[in-house]
């Protein structure tokens, strides 16, 4: 079991940032050449492109070369246990629908965590979210704060006019009614609502204070591993609301007060 010192956490932050930027550059090149759909996954709307697979393969091989004993949990190529107690949790292109449609809001999301590869119990070590079109890199290391480039990030307090919130919707059409009902219940807290289409960026923007809060049901660990760490290191709170047996538990991020208010409304009676 690797002992994670502050120095190692920061080293892994820089490695995550380096690989995320290399992976982002590959995604950008492939986008310029045209997007080829490789398959659909949970539903027809849940697409994977050839680039998702190629970018994840690049990240995986870079990590295998640099961090041979670590485990891996990736959106496209699954899980592999390591011997070091550290696991890399990777979404090669978060915001695949944006990527395929030509919207700039997509990102490479890379986190490294310690302990069981279960987001309810793992300890954050380091993470990076890189949006190649937007040219923005967000990073965090355990206890070392969250950063956009060289600027330290801090979550906002929602202003009196109401919170600027973001949310997202699952790919499965049968989940839309429930997602919309949650939006309706939370809306009284909001000044306005965004649907950016990439959970890692929603969370990075909460960390940066651009958004006051974010909530979404049904995210997978790779969607939020790095972003959740950014929010926490920026002084915010990220909760998973609902019972552990619910595969569509809601992620709620923001300041402690706002997260509490969102959960009370979102989980209330319709
Ligand atoms: C997607 C997101 C999006 C969310 C989807 C999905 P993908 O990740 O980040 O914002 O609403 O449910 O998880 O599939 O593009 O990596």
**pLDDT one-digit tens code per residue, 188-217:** 999 999 999 999 999 999 999 999 999 999
Q: What mean pLDDT is reported for the chain?
A: 94
pLDDT score at 245: 78
Q: What are the start and end residues of each CATH 3.40.190.80 domain in the chain? A: 163-266
The answer to which of 25-29, 86-90, 171-175, 214-218 has the lowest mean pLDDT is 171-175
What is the atom index within ligand 1 of the atom nearest the CA of 48? 14
Predicted confidence at residue 161, as pLDDT, reads: 85
Q: Ligand 1 centre from 220 Cα, in Å?
A: 8
CATH topology of domain 163-266: D-Maltodextrin-Binding Protein; domain 2 (3.40.190)
User: Can you name the CATH fold of 6-152?
Assistant: Fructose-1,6-Bisphosphatase; Chain A, domain 1 (3.30.540)
- Ligand 1 neighbours, Cβ below 6 Å, are 75, 91, 94-96, 168-170, 197-199, 216, 219, 223
Residue located nearest, by CA, to atom 16 of ligand 1:
94
Confidence of residue 231 (pLDDT cuts 50, 70, 90): very high
Picking from 96-100, 156-160, 250-254, which range would have the lowest pLDDT averaged per residue? 156-160
Tell me how far the alpha carbon of residue 204 lies from the centroid of ligand 1, in angstroms: 14
Q: Indicate whether 94 pLDDT > 60.
A: yes
Q: What is the pLDDT of residue 252?
A: 98
Query: How much is the pTM?
Result: 0.96
pLDDT classification of 123: cutoffs 50, 70, 90: very high
Residue 6 assigned to a binding site: no
Ligand 1 center to 246 CA (angstroms): 18
Instruction: For CATH 3.30.540.10, list the domain ranges present in the chain.
Output: 6-152
Centroid of ligand 1 to alpha carbon of 95 (angstroms): 5
Measure the CA–CA gap between 90 and 108, rounded to whole angstroms: 8
First to last CA, the chain: 47
> Is 120 labeled as ligand-binding?
no
Query: How confident is the model over 140-171, as pLDDT tens digits?
Result: 999 999 999 999 999 999 788 899 999 999 88
Ligand 1 centroid, distance to 1 Cα (angstroms): 32
Residue nearest to atom 2 of ligand 1 (CA): 198
Residue 227: the pLDDT is 98
In angstroms, the CA 188 to CA 94 distance is: 29
- pLDDT at position 102: 92
DSSP E strands: which ranges in the chain?
A: 37-40, 47-49, 71-74, 78-80, 86-94, 107-114, 123-131, 136-141, 146-148, 151-152, 163-167, 190-194, 213-217, 237-241, 250-254
Check pLDDT > 60 for residue 57: yes
47 is in an annotated binding site: no
Confidence of residue 269 (pLDDT cuts 50, 70, 90): low
* 223 marked among binding-site residues: yes
Which of 242, 179, 239 is CA-nearest to residue 206? 239
Check whether 268 has a pLDDT greater than 80: no
């Amino acid at each position: 079991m690797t002992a994670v010192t502050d120095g190692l956490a920061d080293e892994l932050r820089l490695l995550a940032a380096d690989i995320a930027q290399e992976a982002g550059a590959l995604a950008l090149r492939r986008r310029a050449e045209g997007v080829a759909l490789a398959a659909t996954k949970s539903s027809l709307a849940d697409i994977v492109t050839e680039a998702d697979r190629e970018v994840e393969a690049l990240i995986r091989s870079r990590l295998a070369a640099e961090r041979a004993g670590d485990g891996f949990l990736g959106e496209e190529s699954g899980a592999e246990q390591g011997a070091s107690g550290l696991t890399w949790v990777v979404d090669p292109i978060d915001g695949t629908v944006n990527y395929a449609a030509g919207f700039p809001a997509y990102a490479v999301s890379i986190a490294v965590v310690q302990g069981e590869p279960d987001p309810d119990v793992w300890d954050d070590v380091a993470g990076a979210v890189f949006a190649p079109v937007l040219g923005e890199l967000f990073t965090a290391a355990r206890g070392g704060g969250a950063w956009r480039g060289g600027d330290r990030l801090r979550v906002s307090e929602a202003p009196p006019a109401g919170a600027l919130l973001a949310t997202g919707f699952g790919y499965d059409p049968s989940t839309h009614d429930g997602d919309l009902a949650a939006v309706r219940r939370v809306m009284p807290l909001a000044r306005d609502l965004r649907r950016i289409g990439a959970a890692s960026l929603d969370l990075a923007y909460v960390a940066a204070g651009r958004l006051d809060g974010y909530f979404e049901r049904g995210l997978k660990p790779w969607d939020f591993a790095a972003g959740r760490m950014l929010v926490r290191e920026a002084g915010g709170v990220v909760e998973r609301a609902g019972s552990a047996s619910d595969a569509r538990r809601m992620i709620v991020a923001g300041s402690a007060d706002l997260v509490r208010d969102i959960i009370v409304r979102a989980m209330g009676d319709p």
